Structure 1
Amino acid sequence: MKGTLFVVSGPSGVGKTSIISALMNKLENIVFSVSCTTRPPRPGEVDGVDYFFVSRDKFIEMREKGEFLEWAEVHGNLYGTPKKFVLENIEKGNRIILDIDVQGALQVKRNFDDAVFIFVAPPSYEVLKERLLKRGTENSQSMLKRLENAKWEMSKIVEFDYLIVNSDLEKSILAMKSIVIAESYRTRRILDEELIKRLFKGVSESETGN
C-alpha cells in the first residue's frame, strides 16, 4: 500500500507549524517533509529540521536539476520541496506532511491528484495581523507584504479539499488529526490487489464450507 501526501497551506502566521508539530506527536507512520529555502533562519530554527537553508545559487542549481517537487518565490525568498524524499516515503507507505505556501500547493495539485489539500485560515484578517505582530519576526515592510499576499491566498481556499479555521488551537489539531486518519482509511487507498485476494479468499472458503 502506497503512502498518502498531505499538503497543508495557508497565510503566514496562521498557526500551521503549531498544528503540524502537535500532529506529529499524536500519530504514527507520519513524516514531515523538510523544505529548502533561501531565507535566513529565524531564532530557534535548526537547519535540516525546520528547513534546509541554502544559498540562492544552490537553490537555482537544484531547481535546474529537477530536484524539486514544487518551488515558489514568496516575499522575495525561494522555497522548494525536495522531490526524492517525498517519492521515497510514498513508496514506503508513509503519510507525508508538506507545509508549503499556496503557490506551491497549487503546483503539487497539478501533478499529484491523489494528494490531500488542507487550508488553514485565520478567524479574520485582523486576527492574522495581530498574530504576525506578536510573532515579532517581520519588519513593517515584510509584514505588509505578507498581509497583502494573504488576501490572494485566501481567495484560493476553494482549490483545497479541507478548510480549518484556526480560532482554537486544540480544536484545529483535532480537526487535522481527523482528516489524516479518515483519508488513510479511504477504500481507494488501502484496497490493493493482495488485500482483495485475502478478502475474497475468506469469502470463497466460507461459501465452500456451507
Structure 2
Amino acid sequence: MAQTRGNLFILSAPSGAGKSSLITALLKKHADMKVSVSHTTRDPRPGEENAVHYHFVSADEFKALIAKDDFFEWAQVFDNYYGTSKQAIESQLDAGIDVFLDIDWQGAQQVREIMPSVQTIFILPPSKAELEQRLNNRGQDSAEVIAGRMAKAQSETSHYNEYDYVVVNDDFDTALSNIETIVLAQRLTLNAQASRHHDLITNLLK
C-alpha cells in the first residue's frame, strides 16, 4: 500500500466554543494527526515551550521569513506577529500526517488561496448564553474583556458560511465524533484511495 499525502484542515471558532479542547482530544486518539505549531514574536507565557506551543522568534526573524514567502498565512495582532510556516506543514503532509491549522477566518482565506484543497471546519457554540457562560467559567477575564470577546464572536461567526463543514459543540463527545468523521472521510476520497491502493486496483483491472 503506497504512502499517501496527508490532508490539511483549518479549524476556526469564536473564543469559548471549545476548539482547543476538541483538537487536543482528537490528537490523543490519532498519532497520525498533528496541529500546526505557529511562529510568533510575542514572549512565551509561563509553561510554554519553544517548538511545542509556538516557534518563538524575533520581529526581525519573522520579517525575514515574510520576505522569503515562507508563510501560508500571517497577521499582525497588536504589537506581535503570528504566522503558519509552509515548510513545516508540507513536510508533515508529505509524511502522511493530517495537519490542523488553528486560525481565524482571515487566515483561512489566505490559506485557501494558496491551497484550494484545504478542508475547513467552523465550530459553533450551542447558544450565545452558553458561550458567555463558558467564558465566565474560565475565571480569567474581566466582564469588560468578556463583553469584547462576545462582540468579536458575533463578527467571527458571521463568516461561518465560508467553511466546508460546520460543527455545533453542544455535546463535546458528539462534536468530537463529528470532526473525526470529517477527517477520516477525507482519507477515503477517490484520489486518496487511488493513490493508496494503486497496486491493488491495477491488479484487479488486469
Q: TM-score range by the shorter chain?
A: 0.7 to 0.9
- Opposite residue 69 of structure 1, the aligned amino acid is F
2:24 to 21, 26, 29: 21
Aligned to 1:147: 150
Q: Does 1:120 align with 2:123?
A: yes
| Alignment partners' CA distance in 2, 1:121 and 1:69 | 25
Moved more, 144-153 or 110-119: 144-153
Cα-to-partner distance string for 1:61-84 (whole Å, 9 max, x where unaligned): 332332211112346643211111
| Alignment partners' CA distance in 1, 2:6 and 2:199 | 20
Bigger Cα Rg: 1
Q: Does 1:82 align with 2:85?
A: yes
TM-score (norm 1): 0.84
Q: Does 1:70 align with 2:73?
A: yes
- Opposite residue 205 of structure 2, the aligned amino acid is V
CA distance 1:45–1:104, shift in 2 (3 Å): same
Identity between Structure 1 and Structure 2 (%): 37
Unaligned segments of structure 2, at least 5 residues: none
Aligned to 1:176: 179
Say whether the 8 Å CA contact 2:40–2:54 is kept in structure 1. yes
Offset at 1:147? 2.4
Moved more, 80-89 or 127-136: 127-136
Offset at 1:132? 2.0
Q: Does 1:200 align with 2:202?
A: yes
The aligned length equals 203
| Alignment partners' CA distance in 1, 2:101 and 2:162 | 16
CA distance 1:62–1:103, shift in 2 (3 Å): same
Matches within 5 A, 1:123-134: 123-134=126-137
